[in-house]
Structure 1
Amino acid sequence: MTDHAREQATILETHGLTKDFKGFTAIKDINLSVQTGSIHALIGPNGAGKTTFFNLLTKFLKPTSGQIIYDGRDITHARPAGIAQRGLIRSFQISAVFPHLSARENVRIALQRKLKVSYHFWRPLRILDQLNEQAQATLEQVGLGKFGDVKAVELPYGQKRALEIATTIALEPRLMLLDEPTQGMSAEDVSTVTDLIKRVIEGRTIVMVEHNLNVVATLADQITVLNRGEILAEGNYDEVSNNPEVMEAYMGTTDAA
């Protein structure tokens, strides 16, 4: 592969990314490369630095040192809104939909920015009616086509997460950051959301923090294991799951199955 082709295949890179909090190093010298069109999982025991790393990528935290390159551009010092406009979109651990709006209205809000009327609250609501068809199509994509008129608060937890993914898709992300997409779900909901992520990956790249290793094994093309703020191992699921250092970090022993 030529250098140019390699650059084209990489959508996100970090170089020496480090974050200190008053003498405590939460993230230390992280060098990460995410390939376009892949699902890249970030895993590790509690306190490994996964959420801090996500917060650095989305500019909710400023790095102490290091560099973040997204789509060939240095975004180390960019603003959160700026990277979102460039197609780097994050879905949070806790469902972030508007509970008392319908599923369709939630997606329609995400679509508003295409009309450039997001902050024009004095305009009549009917101006958004032109988005209904696209909002419905997005709901169909995530299996919520029959729930367009249902308020988000009335949806079961798994469907709320599907709605959140729908609102994320509506923002037309090139890179989706999914933070614990199956946290707190029943086995049935986990299966539903796992299948959903498989469906929406086409044309997109996903970086996901996920505690459920069965989900990681099913979805991830590449896995980075963090421990105490540093990269412990990288590779596919078979490679990292059989790594003695990874087993020790998770289980406290190298004898874990």
Structure 2
Amino acid sequence: MEEQAVGEQTQPSSTILETRNLTKDFKGFTAISDVSINVKTGSIHALIGPNGAGKTTFFNLLTKFLKPSAGQIIYAGKDITNARPAGIAQQGLIRSFQISAVFPHLSARENVRVALQRKLGISYHFWRPVRILDQLNEEAQATLEQVGLGPFADTKAVELAYGQKRALEIATTIALKPRLMLLDEPTQGMSSEDVGTVTELIRKVVDGRTIVMVEHNLNVVSTLADTITVLNRGEVLAEGNYDTVSTNPAVMEAYMGTTDAA
């Protein structure tokens, strides 16, 4: 009986990320107030809200670029409230912009190799001969194939179209083997064609991973997100699937300043 009980306790949790009453004050201004969310393993969880809702501040708290004034952040069963950014990255929690500042004059393949080389234990040994990274070429190429950039492996990042650059950013994120990917406005500034391409790419790479994304494009959110948390003035206004939140009168008021009944 005891063995069975222990086995039950060691079953993987369905929750990979949880915030408990997370709060951030800036000299009297409360940017995030008592926010609690629960992100399910293997899901796409979207954060939306009008300008000034606190979405970026919340992301900065998750990735430890800001320290919470109160509350907790639990990732993979561990309290990471006071962890350092590099520490959580090593545990598989990766924010897109942390590694997506691609090197413009390196090829797509070379950019992915920079991310892959960490596992060789030479991440900071840039004085080593470049040929030492040739062993990563095959995996780099396979990663580029995943995001549709296989034919552009030798193209410099600066020469890629905008949507392709965002795909390369996602490729470098994938190269770091994330358990949880935090994507900050992945379709911002894109044409409708590029939005469609990146939306399908995100849907493809979620396999075996969890994604939390801040996204302004509600069409993208409605297509991708399993759960949506709506923030407004630093507080959770609503949560649920797209049908639930899109018909919520408080959400309509926050976005449009009116409701159907008004």
User: When the two structures are superposed, what TM-score results if normalisation uses the length of structure 2?
Assistant: 0.94
Q: How many residues align?
A: 256
SS class of match (1:178):
strand
Determine which of 45, 61, 64 is the counterpart of 2:66.
Answer: 61
Matched, 1:37 2:42: yes
Matched, 1:106 2:129: no
Matched, 1:226 2:231: yes
Q: In structure 2, how many angstroms separate the alpha carbons of the residues matched to 1:47 and 1:93?
A: 22
**Alignment gaps of 5+ in structure 2:** 1-7
Q: In structure 2, how many angstroms separate the alpha carbons of the residues matched to 1:190 and 1:25?
A: 33
Q: Residue 180 of structure 1 corresponds to which residue in structure 2?
A: 185
Question: Cα deviations across residues 120-162 of structure 1 (Å, max 9, x unaligned)?
Answer: 1222111100000000000000000000000000000000000
Determine which of 10, 14, 21 is the counterpart of 1:9.
Answer: 14
CA contact (8 A) 1:93 1:179 kept: no
Q: Residue 92 of structure 1 corresponds to which residue in structure 2?
A: 97
Question: Cα deviations across residues 86-142 of structure 1 (Å, max 9, x unaligned)?
Answer: 000001399621111100000000001000101112221111000000000000000
Q: Percent of aligned pairs with the same residue?
A: 83
SS class of match (1:120):
coil
Equivalent residue runs for 1:88-237 within 5 Å = 88-92=93-97, 96-237=101-242
Q: In structure 2, how many angstroms separate the alpha carbons of the residues matched to 1:95 and 1:80?
A: 15
Shift, 1:163, TM fit: 0.2
Determine which of 15, 20, 27 is the counterpart of 1:22.
Answer: 27
CA contact (8 A) 2:16 2:75 kept: yes
CA contact (8 A) 2:100 2:173 kept: no
Q: In structure 2, how many angstroms separate the alpha carbons of the residues matched to 1:179 and 1:203?
A: 20
Q: Residue 248 of structure 1 corresponds to which residue in structure 2?
A: 253
Note the aligned Cα RMSD (angstroms): 1.9
Task: Give the counterpart letter for 1:87 in structure 2.
Answer: G
Task: Give the counterpart letter for 1:172 in structure 2.
Answer: K
SS class of match (1:150):
coil
SS class of match (1:18):
strand
Q: In structure 2, how many angstroms separate the alpha carbons of the residues matched to 1:38 and 1:126?
A: 39
Q: In structure 1, how many angstroms separate the alpha carbons of the residues matched to 2:258 and 2:11?
A: 38
**Alignment gaps of 5+ in structure 1:** none
Q: Residue 5 of structure 2 corresponds to which residue in structure 1?
A: none
Q: In structure 2, how many angstroms separate the alpha carbons of the residues matched to 1:221 and 1:5?
A: 26
Q: In structure 2, how many angstroms separate the alpha carbons of the residues matched to 1:174 and 1:35?
A: 12
Matched, 1:70 2:51: no
